[in-house]
Chains A and B, each alone.
Chain A
Amino acid sequence: MRRPAARLPRLAGAARGRIGLRGAVLAVVVVGLVLTAVLAVVTFRGHQRAESRLLGLQTRLIAAAGQAADQLYVQDHLGGAAAVAAATGGSVTEFRKAVAGIVTAKGPFVSASLWQLSGASPRLVAAVGGKPLLAPGAARLAALLRQSAASKTFVVTKVTAPGAVRLAFAAAASGSHGRFAVYAEEPLPVNGRVSDPADSPIGPLSFAVYLGRSTTPGMLLETNSAGPLPLRGTTFTTGFVFGNTFVTITTSPRGSLSGPVSQVLPWAIVAGGLLLTFLAALLAGRLVRGRDDAERLSREVRELYLEQRSVAETLQHALLPSRLPAIPDMVIEARYLPGATGVDIGGDWYDLVPLDGGRFVFKVGDVSGRGVDAAAVMASLHFAGRAYALEGYTPQVILDHLAQTLDVAENGHFATVLCGLVDIAAHTVRLANAGHLPPVVSSEGQSAVVPVKPGPPIGIPDGSPYEESMVTVPPRGVLIAYTDGLVERRGEIVDAGIKRLQEAASHDCGSLGELLDRIITELTGDSPADDIAVIGLEWQN
């Protein structure tokens, strides 16, 4: 079988430079993973930024609250009591009254004492509450009191004793009766550990509060962290002025401050991204495989199609005589041109059967429709027609017989056939016509359409037998029979095409073959739309 490889489209060329199955899946996976990672990192950073911003905000709020509350509380009460003493000349009664509310079993202070600062060393005026860690006479107490006298605000220090830790305050005031100072101690948890109150506003935070600007363990006031200090991880440190010193607060979030969603989001993105990447890779794989399948299928269909066309072409070429039999005293030429429209072959054919007695039968036919089944109809008519001709039937009988073999209602095809019986010596042609276009006769620059009354085409019977007409061809005349592809043009009455043929045939030009070629070129150009079969019979005398 002929394989028209050159007509196959360059699918292989199109496939070059394209992504295969593995490449596509790999690309999708890489892109998916990169996108997932970038998104997760961005989200995680955003979460971290939100966390630290919230941490800072909360810590500053705590510090602000501490500064406002603790500072005022100490200054108001201790400073107030000193001012009362300075105004009353150190009245013990007034002092007791002033500190009655703040030195209680519930705190905040466990002890308070009033000191007169007029002499070289402070003099104890009165004392309430429990025993202070810095007993009267202690050098550190005296130093603290002197320090308070020189300070515009209260002074603070941390006092540690076995089993007790306290914050010691001293606040001084001057009045008409001299200079007085109030000393008070506030208990701290021994190891600094406190538990969170149930309604604490700082719920998810660990904190550590130090006296002074450093976070040395010795200066720890209190912490709610059970872990090691200083706090680790994400921390935020701020502080506020507290008396003559400073309070430093360090915080660290225990969980997510911005809520569980924000915390889980990066991981959710990672999980979602991985899932989407997997699905996308799966889809890409399927798409690429689907595309490859479709292309392979398309190639196969195309090959099958070309194969089918090739079969039909082979059949048709096998049916057309490769070389017409030589007829004495005649020149016979035939042409067959496949049409350019579509890939299906048509059903045009011609045939010539020599008989004895200087006679021969010729036929030109055209099966309606195209394709392999049209070619098959053509084959059956071709061989049946040859057989009837060899039997010696006249054209009319040949067509009557052929009409028995085909029915358009059954297989959708019909055929037009022109059949002629030529008597060479007599220059006569007996013609019968089954719906075919009439032949043209030309001689010595003159040409005419042969009037042959058409009967119905083979396959569309109308009940009446075919008629026969006789035409006489002049000496050296030419008879041209053809199929409609030679003369038919859309939008034009068929007679116009026959007229063109008639004119083209009247121009004498060399051999019969050259005449046929020129007629075809003149009437159809180089690429006829429809199939064309032409046979020319030339008398040599």
Chain B
Amino acid sequence: MAELNTAGQDGITVRTRHQDGTPVISVAGELDLTNAKEVRSAIEAVVSDHGQLIVFEVSDLTFMDSSGIALLASVTRQVLRDPTPIVRRLIEMTGLDKVLRMTP
């Protein structure tokens, strides 16, 4: 299990694990331009083939800016698990609910 903790004022915590062979990256805190690279390196660490499904666990993601959206959208197949209302609404308002699928 890899863990990356960035010590910023708007800290973000990124944890990676595997569930039934599917990489699950949990992102907690505030995802923005200043720390998007932490999540990017977590993604790059688990992507083995291009069409692979990646699950983002975002139940503790309290904020995401356009850089965060760009980052999540750059993955070919992804699911956002259990998004907060803030993130869910942001994705809906950005017209990305077809691209960034959310469960439930």
* Chain A residues near B (Cβ < 8 Å): 342, 366, 368-370, 408-409, 412-414, 416, 433-435, 437-438, 453-457, 460, 462-464, 484, 490-495, 530
Contacts and interface: CB of A to CB of B under 8 A. Distances in A.
Given A493-B85, A494-B89, A456 B70 contact: no
B70 A369 contact: yes
A114 to B, nearest CB: 110
A435 B67 contact: no
Interface in B63-103: 63, 65-67, 69-70, 73-74, 76, 85-86, 89-90, 92-96, 98-99
Nearest to B90: A494
A453 B85 CA distance: 19
Contact of B73 (A366, A370, A408, A434): A408
Contacts of A464: 98
The main secondary structure of chain A at its interface with chain B is loop
A490 B66 contact: no
21 contacts: A342-B34, A368-B65, A369-B33, A369-B67, A408-B73, A408-B74, A409-B74, A414-B69, A435-B93, A435-B95, A457-B96, A460-B73, A463-B98, A484-B66, A491-B63, A491-B86, A493-B89, A494-B86, A494-B89, A495-B89, A530-B65
A460 B98 CA distance: 10
Contacts of B93: 435, 437-438, 454, 494
Nearest to A456: B95
Given A408-B70, A409-B74, A490-B62, A435 B33 contact: no
Contacts of A433: 95
Contacts of B95: 433-435, 453-457, 462
Contact of B96 (A456, A494, A495): A456
Residue picked from B33, B69, B70, most chain A C-beta under 10 Å: B70
B69 A368 contact: yes
A194 B16 CA distance: 96
A339 B70 CA distance: 20
A416 B89 CA distance: 15
B57 interface: no
Contact of B70 (A412, A437, A454, A530): A412
A285 to B, nearest CB: 37
A88 B90 CA distance: 140
A490 B98 CA distance: 24
The 3 closest A-B pairs by CB, nearest first: A454-B95, A368-B66, A435-B94
A490 to B, nearest CB: 5
Given A435-B94, A493-B85, 20 more contacts: A366-B66, A368-B65, A368-B66, A368-B67, A369-B66, A369-B70, A409-B74, A412-B74, A414-B66, A434-B95, A453-B95, A454-B92, A455-B95, A456-B99, A457-B95, A460-B96, A460-B99, A462-B98, A464-B98, A491-B63
A492 B86 contact: yes
The main secondary structure of chain B at its interface with chain A is mixed
A492 B94 CA distance: 16
A493 B99 contact: no
A457 B72 CA distance: 13
A438 B94 CA distance: 10
Nearest to B96: A456
A444 to B, nearest CB: 28
Contacts of A438: 93
Given A414-B73, A457-B94, A493 B66 contact: no
A26 to B, nearest CB: 43
Nearest to B36: A369
Nearest to A462: B98
A456 B86 contact: no
A412 B69 CA distance: 10
Contacts of A453: 95
A435 B70 contact: no
Nearest to A367: B66
Contacts of A462: 95-96, 98-99
Contacts of A463: 98
A368 B86 CA distance: 18
Nearest to A438: B93
Nearest to B93: A494
Contacts of B89: 493-495
B100 to A, nearest CB: 9
Contacts of B62: 490-491
A493 to B, nearest CB: 5
A492 B89 CA distance: 10
Contacts of A455: 95
Nearest to A463: B98
Given A454-B95, A457-B96, A460-B99, A493 B69 contact: no
A224 to B, nearest CB: 81
A87 to B, nearest CB: 109
A437 B90 CA distance: 10
A342 B76 CA distance: 30
B33 A370 contact: yes
A262 B23 CA distance: 73
Interface in B33-75: 33-34, 62-63, 65-67, 69-70, 73-74
Contacts of B67: 368-369
B49 to A, nearest CB: 15
A493 B92 CA distance: 11
Contacts of B69: 368, 414, 457
B70 A414 contact: yes
Contacts of B96: 435, 456-457, 460, 462
